[in-house]
Chain A
Amino acid sequence: MLLSLIFAHQFFISTTDVQFKSKEERVEITIQVFTHDVNLLLENANYNTLHLGTEKESDEIDIFLVNYLSDNFIIQDYIWKYVGKEVGLDYTIFFLEIEKFSLSPKIAILNSIFMDLSTKQVNIVNFYNDGNVQSASMTIGEPVFSFSFQ
Chain B
Amino acid sequence: MFKKILATLFCFSLVFAQANVNKFKQLNEEITTPNTYRTAAGYPGEDYWQVEADYVMDLILDDDKQRLYGEETITFHNNSPHPIPYLWVQLDQNVRALDSDSYKVQTSGDFGAQRGREKVQVGESIPLSTLKNFYRDFDGGFKIEHVKDGLNRDIPYIINKTMMRVDIPEPIRSGQSYKFKIKWWYNINDHIRDGGRSGYEYFEEDDNYIYTIAQFFPRMCMYNDVYGWQNKQFLGRGEFTLIFGDYDVKITVPADHVLGATGVLQNPQQVLSKEQIDRLEEAETADEPIKIVTNAEALENEKDQSKDEKTWHFKAEDVRDYAFATSRKYIWDAIGVEVGGNTVMAMSYYPNEAEPLWGQYSTKAVAHTVEVYSKYTFDYPYPVAISAHINYMGMEYPMICFNGYRPEEDGTYSERTKRGLIGVIIHEVGHFWFPMIVNSDERQWTWMDEGLNSFMDDIAGREWDTELFHPSRNTDYIINYMKGDKSNIMPIMTNSESIYQFGANAYGKPTLALNILRDTIMGRELFDYAFKEYSKTWMFKHPTPTDFFRIMENASAVDLDWFWRGWFFSNDHVDLSIESVDWYQLEMDPDKKQSLDEDDTQYYSAMLDEEDIEATVTDRDPNTRDFYDNYDKNQVTKRDKREYRNFLDDLSDEERALVDKNDHFYSVKFSDNDGIIMPIIVQFEYEDGDKEVIKIPVEVWRFNRGEVTKIFKTEKPIKTMTLDPFIQTADVDRSNNYWPERVEPTRFETFKSSGWGGSKNLMQRVRDDAAADDDSEDDSE
Contact = CB atoms under 8 A, between A and B. Distances in A.
B748 A97 contact: yes
A79 B774 contact: yes
Given A7-B393, A50-B412, A137-B488, A83 B112 contact: no
Given A4-B454, A6-B394, A89 B419 contact: yes
Contacts of B504: 11, 13
B469 to A, nearest CB: 10
B112 A30 contact: no
A5 B116 CA distance: 13
A63 B415 contact: no
B132 to A, nearest CB: 12
Contacts of B601: none
A89 B404 CA distance: 17
B501 interface: yes
Interface string A18-48: 0100000000111010010001110111000
Interface residues of B, number: 82
Interface in B758-781: 759-760, 762-764, 766-768, 770-771, 774-775
A144 to B, nearest CB: 13
B500 A119 contact: no
B746 interface: yes
B414 interface: yes
B576 interface: no
B491 interface: no
Given A63-B763, A116-B121, A122-B488, A30 B109 contact: no
A63 B124 CA distance: 20
Contacts of A97: 748
A28 B746 contact: yes
Residue from A10, A41, A136 whose CB has the most chain B CB atoms within 10 Å: A10
Contact of A7 (B116, B120, B468, B500): B116
Given A30-B746, A90-B473, A62 B503 contact: no
A122 B499 CA distance: 13
Contact of B507 (A3, A7, A45, A126): A3
Interface residues of A, number: 69
A118 interface: yes
B123 A3 contact: no
Nearest to A1: B395
B427 interface: yes
B7 interface: no
A62 to B, nearest CB: 4
B450 A140 contact: no
Given A71-B123, A119-B111, A119-B127, A11 B485 contact: no
Contacts of A86: 751
B484 A81 contact: no
B756 A8 contact: no
Contact of B420 (A5, A40, A66, A117): A5
Interface in B479-493: 480-481, 483-485, 487-488
B108 interface: yes
A106 interface: no
Contacts of A17: 746-747
B267 to A, nearest CB: 32
Given A19-B748, A137-B485, A1 B477 contact: no
Given A4-B503, A117-B112, A62 B748 contact: no
Contact of A141 (B108, B746, B768): B108
Interface in B435-465: 450, 454
A8 B115 contact: yes
A117 B115 contact: yes
Nearest to B453: A2
Contacts of A88: 473
Contacts of B114: 8
B747 A30 contact: yes
Nearest to B426: A2
Residue from A11, A59, A88, A121 whose CB has the most chain B CB atoms within 10 Å: A11
B766 A44 contact: no
B396 A116 contact: no
A147 interface: no
Interface in A48-64: 49-52, 55, 59, 62-63
A119 B127 CA distance: 7
A12 B488 CA distance: 11
Contact of B395 (A2, A12, A95): A2
A89 B415 contact: yes
B119 interface: yes
Contacts, number: 200
B416 A89 contact: yes
A117 B747 contact: no
B120 A117 contact: yes
Given A116-B120, A117-B112, A135-B485, A7 B392 contact: yes
B774 to A, nearest CB: 4
Given A68-B122, A124-B485, A84 B427 contact: no
B424 interface: yes
Contacts of B428: 2
Contact of A90 (B403, B477, B749): B477
Contact of B748 (A28, A43, A52, A100): A28
A12 B756 CA distance: 28
Contacts of A6: 394, 404-405, 420, 423-424
B416 A66 contact: no
Contacts of B764: 82, 84
A139 interface: yes
B150 interface: no
Interface string B654-687: 0000000000000000000000000000000000
B195 interface: yes
A79 B771 contact: yes
Residue from A39, A52, A119 whose CB has the most chain B CB atoms within 10 Å: A119
B412 A13 contact: no
B408 interface: yes
Contact of A3 (B450, B476, B485): B450
B113 interface: yes
B239 interface: yes
B408 A50 contact: yes
A65 B502 CA distance: 27
Interface string A79-112: 1111110101111010101001000000000000
B488 A124 contact: yes
B752 interface: yes
B214 to A, nearest CB: 11
Nearest to B403: A2
A82 B748 CA distance: 12
A52 B414 contact: yes
A129 interface: no
26 contacts: A2-B428, A6-B424, A11-B477, A11-B501, A19-B748, A30-B747, A32-B480, A40-B115, A41-B122, A50-B408, A62-B760, A63-B762, A79-B774, A80-B771, A82-B763, A82-B764, A84-B751, A89-B473, A91-B476, A117-B127, A118-B129, A119-B126, A124-B484, A124-B485, A126-B483, A140-B108
Given A13-B504, A68-B122, 15 more contacts: A2-B394, A3-B394, A5-B423, A10-B501, A19-B748, A83-B752, A89-B473, A100-B775, A115-B127, A116-B120, A118-B111, A118-B127, A120-B111, A120-B112, A137-B488
Interface of B: 108-116, 119-124, 126-127, 129-130, 195, 197, 239, 392-396, 403-405, 408, 412-416, 419-420, 423-424, 427-428, 450, 454, 468, 473, 476-477, 480-481, 483-485, 487-488, 500-504, 507-508, 746-749, 751-752, 756-757, 759-760, 762-764, 766-768, 770-771, 774-775
Interface of A: 1-13, 15, 17, 19, 28-30, 32, 35, 39-41, 43-45, 49-52, 55, 59, 62-63, 66, 68, 71, 79-84, 86, 88-91, 93, 95, 97, 100, 115-122, 124, 126, 135-137, 139-141
